[in-house]
Amino acid sequence: MSALTADQRPSSTLPHVRIQPARGLLDLDLAALWQYRELIYILVWRDVTVRYKQTLLGVAWAMFQPVATMLIFTVVFSVMGKIPSDGFPYPVFLYAGLLPWFYVSQALSRGGTSLVGEAPLISKVYFPRLILPLSATIAPLVDLVLAFVAFLGLMAWFGILPTWRILSLPLFAALAATITLAAGLWISALYVKYRDVGHILPMLIQLWMFVSPILYPVSKVPESWRALYAMNPVVSVVEGFRWALIPGFEVDFTMFLPSLGVVFVVFVGGLIYFRSMERTFADVI
Amino acid sequence: MSDIAIKADCLSKHYRLGAASRQHNTLRDHLMHRLRGLTRWGGGRQESNPSFWALKDISFEVKRGEVLGIVGHNGAGKSTLLKILSRITQPTTGTADIYGRVSSLLEVGTGFHSELSGRENIYLNAAMLDMRREEVRRKFDEIVAFSGVEAFIDTPVKRYSSGMYVRLAFAVAAHLEPEILIVDEVLAVGDASFQQKCLGKMEEVSRSGRTVLIVSHNMTVIEGLCERAILLEKGRVAKIGNTHEVVEGYADAIRGLAGTEIEARHDREGLGEILLTRIEVMDTQRHPVAAAITGRDVVIRMYYRCAAGKEFLNCRVSISVNGRKAQDLFVLSTDIVDPKPLTLRGEGYVDFIVPELPLTGGAYFFQSYIESNGHAQDWIKNVAPFSVLDADYYGTGKLCPPGWEANGVLVRYRWEAGETGSTAALPIRARAS
């Protein structure tokens, strides 16, 4: 019976945990993350399930939202605003950019609020806190896949056939996930301490959309600003998505380098900041 | 060495006082503070945050299979200690070695999501408590049967009654099979049958050779379940060892707190010509007691000392009992029950005699107030703790229905039933007080 388990097991086989003040800058404790991998899985599953519970359309929303946005933006920016799209059909051009952007904005707002949103949990149960922004970053990937299916329909409508480049899409999706996780680490940890973040975050997301080439092509950005522009990692993601999805779309891959550097710095910095703040989450939240 | 479950070595936890209000919770505060720090203008003197040690140098060992009680006043550091041992917060210094999986009953229902069904929540909750999906699948039927919500297992828990909700949550926690179980005053919440279930579970867990840590204000529970106990006082281990001795020590400490310490209090308001020096809780024979008992007569004695050579007319001495959330439950005041003038001089005491104490078991606080001629003389909030042990108030063996305990105040009453049908109403009388 259950009674056997505890008493007859020698101590050596019992999990041993040493509780002590955390030290070191980057003590990731990947072992703990691995031990709690099922929690990551189940939180992702929860986020996806809860999002479409008690809705009529269910997961169809994940397709309907970007498609509707694409239609509206096409009317406003292409038909009325005459924004160029490097010679590609504007709806396809736009949707290929909206696809990763919907993911980034969603993962960002969910990841940023992931700690404060689970405050009761943090003050009552132990688990590696990193799991919260991490699972919040993973969950919207499901929506991304669904929105991608809708994109295939759009391509069929315009009679465009995908090329082998489409295989590189997971790579760019991974880049998008890394970017949002990097930002999410900072934002979620800052949010615990400063509730201002709740007001800043929606503004930040909106601003970020306009400094990314979603509605307009990179060619519209003045040459002298390109170097600065390339620091925005979302530029790489959007350009990467377009390159992978639209046959004949050309990308200057040297533009990717500065943004990869930015992502790396923000990501490592975010990990260090998150880990150092983690010690006080339960006391401050 | 091999039979140790928990070994704490000099655990300490440091907090800044008033962390909630003093910390810069908005960026603006933070920036302004930094700016002032830089320029040192506008009275920008470095404010030193008052701080305190919630725990200081806590060392103890718990053997496997042992049931250890942790007692102490509110604010003695019990919850902080549990939070450190369950890894929710980190110690400032010191270490603790823990052998085995820890789970705690204070987590009952934490992490339930209202939109998800009972079934889904079982898996979610189990994952949060570090139970493998494999294990849950194996015990799923058992958990559901234990909870008694089979019929609603695929209904979102937002449609559950609070009772069903708690039962399901507890069912998950009860099937965790941790090597170390931490219980924080669960017995203070929930209905009687739930408390009974908790107690039964704890006994079962300890019989099966697991280690249990219990925090409770209820000394009967502590004495009934634990062989050993720790008394915490102001973040330090005041006593450790045999439960009966520790519980005695706790009772002494309560007496002690109601004795000497009030004199040293500085957080009082008023003119201060009359000072409260001591509060004692007594039985009707005027013997001091560690705790009052529900439904028994109790005497609350307030000792005072007046400024030398002075006499104070028209005095009013009052004491109120505050609940856990610091709300006033009731006030005892000399002038209300007896309008005869009260004159105070020298030293002395006022006894408030309360027949059949109408409070459920638990921890309460006193607030004291003394005035003369309409001038506040001495007013102390949270002047002393007031412990009440539960007993059968109504003499029926029944407790309040779950969720109806309100603030812990009981009233005497009876009821009558009558019929208003077409036949002449004949009152049917019944007594229930």
Is residue A22 included in any domain, yes or no? no
Burial environment of residue B169 by CB neighbours within 10 A (0 to 12, 13 to 18, 19 or more): buried
Q: Judge whether A141 lies within some domain.
A: yes
Token pair 């503004």 is at which residue? A203
Q: Apex CA B51: angle with CA B46 and CA B54, to 5°?
A: 165
Whether residue A3 has pLDDT greater than 70:
no
Nearest to B381 by CA among B328, B332, B340: B328
pLDDT in tens, A233-263: 999 999 999 999 999 888 888 888 889 999 9
| B277 has pLDDT over 60 | yes
Specify if A194 maps to a domain.
Answer: yes
Contacts of A139 in chain B (CB under 8 A): none
Of A109-118, A123-132, A150-159, A170-179, the poorest mean pLDDT is in A123-132
Question: Given this model, what pLDDT does residue A152 score?
Answer: 92
Question: B51 with B17: CB under 8 angstroms?
Answer: yes
- Our CA-based measurement puts residue A274 at a distance from the nearest CA of chain B, in whole angstroms, of 15
Highest-confidence segment of A245-249, B216-220, B222-226, B298-302:
B298-302
Q: How many residues does chain A have?
A: 285
Q: Which residue of A has its CA nearest to B99?
A: A16
Give the mutation candidate from A42, A125, A195, A199 for the B interface (greatest B CB count, under 10 A). Answer: A125
- Taking the C-alpha atoms of residue B105 and residue B127, their distance in angstroms, rounded to an integer, is 15
Whether residue A242 is contained in a domain is answered as yes
Say if A136 falls within a structural domain. yes
Q: How confident is the model at residue B193 (pLDDT cuts 50, 70, 90)?
A: low
Domain that holds residue A65: 28-284
What is the model's pLDDT at position A200?
92
User: According to the per-residue pLDDT averaged within each range, which of A117-121, B153-157, B301-305, B399-403 is highest?
Assistant: B301-305
Residue A121 lies in a domain: yes
Nearest to A21 among B23, B93, B130 (CB): B93
Chain B residue closest in CA terms to A41? B127
- Angle separating helix axes A61-73 and A140-157, nearest 10 degrees: 50
B63-252: CATH number: 3.40.50.300
Q: Say if the Cβ atoms of A49 and B120 lie within 8 Å.
A: yes
* Pairwise CB contact (< 8 Å): A6 & B177: yes
* B415 contact partners, CB below 8 Å, separation of at least 6: B430, B432
Enter the DSSP assignment of B148. Answer: T
Q: How many C-beta atoms lie closer than 10 Å to residue A275's C-beta?
A: 20
Q: Residues of A with CB below 8 A from B25's CB?
A: 193-195
Is B98 part of the contact surface with chain A (CB cutoff 8 Å)? yes
Tens digit of pLDDT for each residue in A191-213? Answer: 998 888 999 999 999 999 999 99
User: Taking the CA atoms of chain A, what radius of gyration do you get in angstroms?
Assistant: 22
Architecture of domain B265-389: Distorted Sandwich (2.70)
Domain locations in chain B?
63-252, 265-389
Return the amino acid letter for B93. Answer: T
Phi-psi region of A43 (alpha: psi -120 to 50; beta: other; left: phi over 0): alpha
In a domain, A106, yes or no: yes
How many structural domains is chain A composed of?
1
